[in-house]
Amino acid sequence: MGSLRTQVGIVGAGPAGLLLGHLLHLNGIDTVVVEARSRDYVIDRVRAGVLEQGTVDLLVALGVSTGLCRAGLRHEGLYVTFDGRRHRIDLADLTGGKAITIYGQNEVVRDLIDARSATTRPLYFGAEGVSVHGLETSKPVLRFQHGGTDHEVHCDFIAGCDGSHGICRPSIPAGAQTVYERVYPFGWLGILAEAAPSSDELVYTYHERGFALFSMRSPRITRLYLQVPADEPIESWSDEAIWDEMLTRMTTRDGWRPNVGRILQKSVTPMRSFVAAPMRYGRLFLAGDSAHIVPPTGAKGLNLAASDVLVLTRALRAFYEQGRTEWLDEYSNVCVRRVWRAQRFSWWMTSTLHRFPNESAFDHQRQIADLDYLTSSRAAMTSLAEQYVGLPAEVSFESAGLQLHTASR
Ligand SMILES: Cc1cc2nc3c(=O)[nH]c(=O)nc-3n(C[C@H](O)[C@H](O)[C@H](O)COP(=O)(O)OP(=O)(O)OC[C@H]3O[C@@H](n4cnc5c(N)ncnc54)[C@H](O)[C@@H]3O)c2cc1C
């Protein structure tokens, strides 16, 4: 049996766990990160790609932005299409210069793993039988097997950053949390295609056959999504059928359409909204998807994970540097407020842009009116823009110990 001692045991090496590990490292706080999957699996997992302004600023402040600055695509606007017409929303103009950046989550994860490796602090990939114990005590324990050996990590705190299917949230006794959930009657069929993006900015499309989203990962790779029925088997979609449907929904009256190319990867993702609160039980703190899921329409999931761990870092730093516990006590309240605002925005984007199986003619006309208002009112566009680029951070970078590490962009 290997026995270790650390200050914060982190379960999960997705964006939440890796960002937290690096934030705490910069504050001189020791961590052990335990990940169930292999390094390659974690890096190759294709997911989010839209980074809010605040997430970009955080990665820069952390000093892990070399790849982001080289390959990230800064977007100062986006398009909303309905009735075959594209309408541009100028995010930068409406928010005093803020923007989003397209940079794949897998690239963010790769950069953070490299940064972790450089610190030589422990990160176990391929851990099996991960479990957490003694959460109500001041010395919780993290157990797992790795390379045929049992390991036990004695911690001051455990951060549950193990996503929506992890073990941390289920380790909280029933009744200690309230769960809020909405499941949508559709999913997103997403593809990565070897095709140069035909638009410099994202295009959100409301079409009578359903929602579609044009996005990209690089100057050579397009990322596209289609609304499909929930639980749609990906095998039922040939590449030809996917392109037919993409072009039907996305081609606009002025002839704009995505470039077609070889499909490199395709999958169907279910859509749901989920919040488990409070995000703390004893010495266990949940962060990211382990506590909340948003439908991807608002592009908030990865960004919420970044926001959670910034708030948690402030609290842990105050504990270790000054023995203060009030920010640990406030952690869940501070995060949950932002989570609900992101939930509301993501629900609104989803409800406005998708077709629903049981919708009435009234519902359809109301959606069109919503989009008409959105694209013709500066006030409505400003509301979307400030939420899309990200509401102001809940806590300052300085309070999370980042003032000495701020890099220039
Ligand atoms: C198709 C798709 C598109 C998306 N698009 C966007 C977008 O454009 N913008 C956006 O902001 N968000 C988007 N999201 C959401 C975003 O990907 C997630 O919110 C983000 O990954 C959350 O990070 P996390 O670290 O909390 O969780 P995860 O990334 O899920 O990481 C959790 C980690 O914990 C590990 N783990 C699980 N169980 C255990 C265990 N028992 N022991 C140890 N480790 C464990 C997992 O292997 C994983 O590495 C998208 C999601 C999907 C699926």
Question: Residue 48 above 90 pLDDT?
Answer: no
Chain centre to alpha carbon of residue 238: 29
Contacts of 289 (CB under 8 A, 6+ apart): 14, 16, 163, 164, 301, 305
Q: How many CB atoms lie within 10 A of CB 175?
A: 6
Judged by phi (left if over 0) then psi (alpha if -120 to 50, else beta), residue 117 lies in alpha
Query: Which residue of 46, 161, 162 sits with most ligand 1 atoms within 8 Å of its CB, as the best mutation to test the pocket?
Result: 162
The answer to whether 140 touches 155, Cβ cutoff 8 Å, is yes
Tokens coding 154: 């004695």
Ligand 1 closest atom vs CA 299: 9
Question: Residue 76 above 50 pLDDT?
Answer: yes
Per DSSP, 125 falls in state S
Q: How far is the CA of 163 from the centre of ligand 1 (A)?
A: 5
Q: How far is the CA of 36 from the centre of ligand 1 (A)?
A: 13
- Is 204 a residue of the active site? yes
Beta pairing class for 78-82 and 203-207: parallel
**Buried b / exposed e along 10-29 (16+ C-beta atoms within 10 A):** bbbbbbbbbbbbbbbbbbeb
Q: How far is the CA of 253 from the centre of ligand 1 (A)?
A: 37
Question: Residue 404 above 70 pLDDT?
Answer: no
Query: Which residue of 105, 232, 265, 272 sits with most ligand 1 atoms within 8 Å of its CB, as the best mutation to test the pocket?
Result: 105
Query: Whose Cα sits closest to atom 12 in ligand 1?
Result: 301
Q: Which of 98, 207, 292, 300 is catalytic?
A: 300
254 — pLDDT class (breaks 50, 70, 90): very high
Tokens coding 406: 């701020």
Q: Find tokens 């439908």 and name the residue.
A: 295
Q: What is the pLDDT of residues 346-370, one digit of tens each?
A: 999 999 999 999 999 999 999 999 9
Query: Whose Cα sits closest to atom 48 in ligand 1?
Result: 14
Question: Residue 260 above 60 pLDDT?
Answer: yes
- Pick from 393, 188, 182, 179: nearest CA to 297: 188
Q: Which of 15, 22, 75, 292 is catalytic?
A: 75
233 vs 48, residue with greater confidence: 233
Maximal CA-CA distance, the chain: 67
Mean pLDDT of 43-57: 92
Q: Which of 204, 206, 225, 331 is catalytic?
A: 204
* Residue 406, pLDDT score: 42
Question: Residue 405 above 70 pLDDT?
Answer: no
Query: Which residue of 41, 47, 188, 227 sits with most ligand 1 atoms within 8 Å of its CB, as the best mutation to test the pocket?
Result: 47
Q: Find tokens 């037919």 and name the residue.
A: 244
* Residue 364, pLDDT score: 96
- Is 300 a residue of the active site? yes
Q: What is the pLDDT of residues 273-332, one digit of tens each?
A: 999 999 999 999 999 999 999 999 999 999 999 999 999 999 999 999 999 999 999 999
Q: Which of 281, 296, 331, 354 is catalytic?
A: 296
Question: Residue 408 above 80 pLDDT?
Answer: no
Judged by phi (left if over 0) then psi (alpha if -120 to 50, else beta), residue 193 lies in beta
% of the chain surpassing 90 pLDDT: 96
Residues with CB under 6 A from ligand 1: 11-17, 34-37, 42, 47-50, 105, 127, 130, 161-163, 165-167, 190, 269, 288-289, 296, 299-303, 305
Ligand 1 closest atom vs CA 37: 47
- Is 373 a residue of the active site? no
Q: How far is the CA of 362 from the centre of ligand 1 (A)?
A: 37
Q: Where are the beta strands (DSSP E) in 35-120?
A: 50-51, 73-75, 78-82, 85-89, 100-102
Residue 311 to residue 97: CA distance in whole angstroms: 25
- Is 296 a residue of the active site? yes
Residue 122 to residue 2: CA distance in whole angstroms: 13
Residue 189 to residue 255: CA distance in whole angstroms: 24
- Is 75 a residue of the active site? yes
Q: How far is the CA of 38 from the centre of ligand 1 (A)?
A: 15
Mean pLDDT of 87-116: 97
Q: Give the lowest-confidence range in 36-50, 184-198, 204-218, 278-292.
A: 36-50
Query: Whose Cα sits closest to atom 52 in ligand 1?
Result: 47
When the pLDDT of each residue in the chain is averaged and rounded to a whole number, the result is 96
